[in-house]
Amino acid sequence: MRSLSPTLVVALLAPLLTAPRPAAAEAPDGLGWGLLQPASYARPFVAESHGAMTKLEVGYSQLLKEFDIAAAEDDAQRDFKLLIDAHLAADLPLWSGTLRDDAGRPVWGFSVSLPLSMHVLEDMFEALTAPVISTDYRFGAPVLRVIRRFPSDGFLQNIAVAWLPLYHECTHLGDEITIYRKDVELPITRINVSYEYTQLEVTLNDPDGRRENNHALRLGTLVRLSDRDLGWYGVELEGTTAPEDLPLDHSDTRFEFWAIYQWQRSEGLWADDCCVNVLSVEVRNRPQYGIPTFRQEEGVWQATRSDETRRTGVNAYLGYRFHPEGEARQALGLYLHGYLGVNPYGQLRNIYPYRFLGLALTHEPW
């Protein structure tokens, strides 16, 4: 099954992201506000693993044999393949407001928006069916953003906070992968990774829509709120292995933590207001799920057990963000992307180390 074209999805979302915006109202007391007004602050950074930013990536990644339809029995357990990694997202603006000081400078900003996203990992260059390996969906309550600006020439320009009160993630293996796992009688066909969480991020020196040179630091955490079946996930056991022969432990951890540094440069060699050089690096600590992986020995799948453990990974992007001339808040980015850590997607979060190296095309509508 070939996945829904990322180009088609982006085209469907484009009217929402680029439609003309009504002018914000300005009250005599310095309060500016507007319905359907997007905020320029506390937006996803490029290296944010699950941010509401559209990315289309192609690169070499490690794929376990149990997820590789074309693998032969004598192939290596872990192999590098050229994969498509697509993040499709929108952040629908609902309301934003600004408080100004006596000099008319915007000091406080408040906003409410509705982010939603999906991720597709696809083995597009596999000759049999080009299967979708994993699909993840995220949606829920609106995100609340606030910024406090410091109108001065000091290093600290602002502090921004973004809070997702309640969000949902559900993930699914592709149909062909699920059928393949049943046909070859893997003991575990599918893990149902599905949970609710709340998320908080604090940013120092948020870019805030500016294209000038900037160093930004973001600290974030998410807390799993729900506790379905085994914690982050539930499991369906099928094939020749009975559930009592392959017990899975309940997940004890509820947290992820991360820090993101993002540097941008619009002055100097090969950089200007329309061609902004960007380096974005995320360091994230998250659980590696205690789900067994499987290796094939003489036609029989053998389980490799591992306890749930915390791992720290690095996600890095280096490249350029291209802006049209003028004040339009639309930009395309082209980056070199490297990743090392726990596989960040769905049922594959029991895989460590997972590596990815490729090129990323991004759409940043702020």
Q: Answer yes or no: is pLDDT of 94 > 70.
A: yes
Count of CA atoms in the C-beta half-sphere (13 A) of 253: 16
Confidence at residue 236, expressed as pLDDT on a 0 to 100 scale: 58
Instruction: Identify the domain containing residue 205 by its residue range.
Output: 6-19+39-364
Percent share of the chain, pLDDT over 90:
63
Confidence at residue 47, expressed as pLDDT on a 0 to 100 scale: 98
Cis peptide before 287 (omega within 30 of 0): no
The number of distinct structural domains making up the chain is 1
Q: How far apart are CA 68 and CA 65, in angstroms?
A: 5
Neighbours of 102 (CB within 10 A): 7
Give the tens place of pLDDT for each residue, 190-203: 888 999 999 999 99
**10 contacts: CB under 8 Å, gap ≥ 6:** 54, 88, 363
Maximum Cα–Cα distance for the chain, whole Å?
Answer: 79
Q: Tell me, yes or no, whether 264 lies in a domain.
A: yes
Q: Tell me, yes or no, whether 248 lies in a domain.
A: yes
With 0.85 as the threshold, say if the pTM is over it: yes
DSSP string of 118-130, one letter each residue = EEEEE-TT-TTT-
Confidence at residue 237, expressed as pLDDT on a 0 to 100 scale: 53
CB 132 within 8 A of CB 1: yes
Local confidence band at 4 (pLDDT 50, 70, 90 cut-offs): very low
Q: Tell me, yes or no, whether 128 lies in a domain.
A: yes
Give the tens place of pLDDT for each residue, 111-159: 999 999 999 999 999 888 899 999 999 999 999 999 999 988 788 999 9
Q: Tell me, yes or no, whether 25 lies in a domain.
A: no
pLDDT mean across residues, the chain:
87
Give the tens place of pLDDT for each residue, 140-150: 999 999 999 99
Q: Tell me, yes or no, whether 304 lies in a domain.
A: yes
Q: Answer yes or no: is pLDDT of 67 > 50.
A: yes
Q: Tell me, yes or no, whether 1 lies in a domain.
A: no
For range 179-188, the mean pLDDT: 88
